[in-house]
Structure 1
Amino acid sequence: MITCKRLSQCTLQDALIAWNKGFEGYDFDMTLTLEAFLNRLVFENLSPALSILAFDGTEPVGLILNGVRSIDGKNISWNGGTGVAPAYRSKGVGKRMMEEVLSIYEKEGVHTATLEALSHNNRAIKLYEKMGYQTADQLVHLGYSAPLTLDPPALTHDIHWEKPHNLAEHSFCSRLIPWQVQWQNIRDGEALLAVEKGKTIGYALSKRKYDEQGKLSGILLFQCEAHPEHENKEDVLKSLLHEAFAFSNKADISRTAVNFPRAHSVCGILEDEGFIVKAEQVFMVKEMTA
């Protein structure tokens, strides 16, 4: 008999077993150490009190990690990982866990539930659709690992480097975006503001990674937007990309655009520069309350 418990009521070892078993055979190696699992909870703002483990007797056979935060006065939840041990797949364990999670969302006053799933993971997508989720967007990860040559356009604006939390007051686009690219999850990143005549006309959110010798090894881009009313949005985006991705640095480092909508102008600009699609996901949403 399958039972569910809050992660906060379980041992960390059981949670780690559930994670590593739950993601066996996944497209990417998702195996974690205990330290890496704890870091994932912390850095992605996931809540042990709102996350669940599934058990067959005393054996952990699945889990769903969850986070909830308030955005514009509404509680938004995120499913930060659903995994089921191989021997228990297609046996209703995922559905059982999702029912438990949706019950938790209701108790927490969640307005909108969100998640991402790999685009070709039809089994998972069908389960989420049965639970009331709908696909809101198609997402891509774009990557490139060679020197870049994009020349910045002639600028009529300045670029200001700020802390990520400053985007909270400057963002002029939808706040309902994938959890992992929200500024709250990029605390050690950098916000770039394009400012023209005292007005913010665009922004980007990025993070630089360094190796053990302190050398720049990679750059992640999470958001990049131009003001929808600006007359030359593409130039604003290109100037932000030039700064965020250190185009003037010809070093052979990894550069990745994370979870961008497939139809976003940034994708076209980067693909013209040689970036390629590394992964595709769907962004799914379920409206819980009116």
Structure 2
Amino acid sequence: MEIRSLHDTGFATLFNAFSRAFADYEVQINELQLQTMLTRRGYLPKLSFGAFDGDELVAFTLNGNGLFGGIPTAYDTGTGTLAAYRGQGLATKIFEHSIPYLREAGIRQYLLEVLQHNTKAVSVYRNLGFEVSREFNYFMQANEKVNAIMTKPSHAYSIREVDVAACQSASGFCDFYPSWQNSFESIGRAADDFLCFGAFIENRLIGYCIFESASGDVTQLAVAPTYRRKGIGTALLHETLSRNKYATAKVINTDTTCVDITDFLKARNIELKGQQFEMIKTL
């Protein structure tokens, strides 16, 4: 068994290992979806590592690289182990092996998200020195079950496509700092995969939604506080659903302390499916 960088590991090998490691998960992803996910999350092969049994990749941690809160950060895009190799502590060994390389590359913190019900993984990360920074909800619902019925607006507004820059100029509408995969830096890595809609009164932007139509991922949805509860958010959601190429709408990693977004999604019948911890370790 040897742990080494994934710099020279081809995508086909990576996809094969990823598929086998997560074969027991409810949601499966294809090659294009994995490639899209890696691009969006800033995957950097030379700072990612795997355990090899001969030539076979049997465990891995795929690290993203970028800024988070202005700090150079490594992000755990995916950690997995083939079923036959579990129970050997390979994930911990890979992580510990990676630390000197991450520090040498100027990384100052390591960020990850983990499902709260995965208590074994949470315990491993705590033992490695990670601390919970935030708690996230994730919501999902079949398109046809989402309640995005338009009502008569109290203000005359229009919905039209905008670019990412327009949304970023209105990022102050958000009540919490987006998670890694929902940040503007991540969106910018795969900007062509997103649709952006703005809500306008005359020419003034009062709300926006950023949406990945291939996956059904509602990445950001925000309305200026003065214009909330007036149908603006529902109108933006309605527009995204009309363009959704995926059977399900997903809203991943909303801050559990943000009551407004939680209430809005529940009122739209987008069901709370679970919760995650965001965890950070200073390197």
TM-score tier by shorter-chain length is 0.7 to 0.9
Shift of 1:118: 1.9
- 1:59 corresponds to 2:56: yes
**Structure 2 Cα separation of the partners of residues 246 and 171 of structure 1:** 20
| TM-score using structure 2 length | 0.79
Residue type at the aligned position of 1:154:
S
Any gaps of 5 or more consecutive residues in structure 2?
none
Contact 1:53-1:63 within 8 A present in 2 as well: yes
Residue type at the aligned position of 1:88:
Y
Q: 1:258 aligns with which of 252, 258, 265?
A: 252
- 1:132 corresponds to 2:126: no
Q: 1:79 aligns with which of 60, 76, 80?
A: 76
> Which residue of 2 is the match for residue 145 of structure 1?
143
**Structure 2 Cα separation of the partners of residues 73 and 262 of structure 1:** 23
**Structure 1 Cα separation of the partners of residues 120 and 86 of structure 2:** 10
Change in Cα spacing, 1:150 to 1:117, as seen in structure 2 (3 Å) is farther
Shift of 1:272: 1.5
**Structure 1 Cα separation of the partners of residues 184 and 211 of structure 2:** 9
Contact 2:110-2:281 within 8 A present in 1 as well: yes
**Identity of aligned pairs, percent?**
20
| Matched position secondary structure for 1:245 | helix
Change in Cα spacing, 1:193 to 1:105, as seen in structure 2 (3 Å) is farther
Any gaps of 5 or more consecutive residues in structure 1?
210-217
Summarize deviations over 1:122-180 as a string: whole Å, max 9, x none: 11111111122222222212324226315264227665532124444432258853222
CA RMSD of aligned residues (A): 3.3
Change in Cα spacing, 1:177 to 1:113, as seen in structure 2 (3 Å) is farther
**Structure 1 Cα separation of the partners of residues 99 and 26 of structure 2:** 26
> Which residue of 1 is the match for residue 183 of structure 2?
182
Give the number of the structure whose residues are more often helix, by fraction.
2
Residue type at the aligned position of 2:50:
L
Residue type at the aligned position of 2:136:
Q
**Structure 2 Cα separation of the partners of residues 81 and 26 of structure 1:** 13
Summarize deviations over 1:161-202 as a string: whole Å, max 9, x none: 321244444322588532222234441323344556976554
Change in Cα spacing, 1:256 to 1:18, as seen in structure 2 (3 Å) is closer
Deviating above 6 A after TM superposition, structure 1's stretches of 4 or more consecutive aligned residues are 196-199
How many residues end up aligned between the 2 structures? 272
Q: 2:264 aligns with which of 264, 269, 275?
A: 269
Residue type at the aligned position of 1:116:
E
**Structure 2 Cα separation of the partners of residues 179 and 246 of structure 1:** 25
Contact 1:242-1:248 within 8 A present in 2 as well: no
* Correspondences of 1:1-290 after superposition (within 5 Å): 2-30=1-29, 32-33=30-31, 37-71=34-68, 73-135=70-132, 136-146=134-144, 148-151=148-151, 153-155=153-155, 159=159, 161-172=161-172, 173=174, 176-186=177-187, 187=191, 188-194=193-199, 201-209=206-214, 219-227=216-224, 230=225, 232=226, 234-235=228-229, 238-246=231-239, 254-264=248-258, 265-288=260-283
Residue type at the aligned position of 1:139:
N
Contact 1:18-1:53 within 8 A present in 2 as well: no
**Structure 2 Cα separation of the partners of residues 91 and 245 of structure 1:** 48
Shift of 1:85: 1.4
> Which residue of 2 is the match for residue 214 of structure 1?
none
Shift of 1:267: 2.2
**Structure 1 Cα separation of the partners of residues 135 and 92 of structure 2:** 23
Contact 1:145-1:253 within 8 A present in 2 as well: yes
**Structure 2 Cα separation of the partners of residues 152 and 181 of structure 1:** 31
Residue type at the aligned position of 1:262:
T
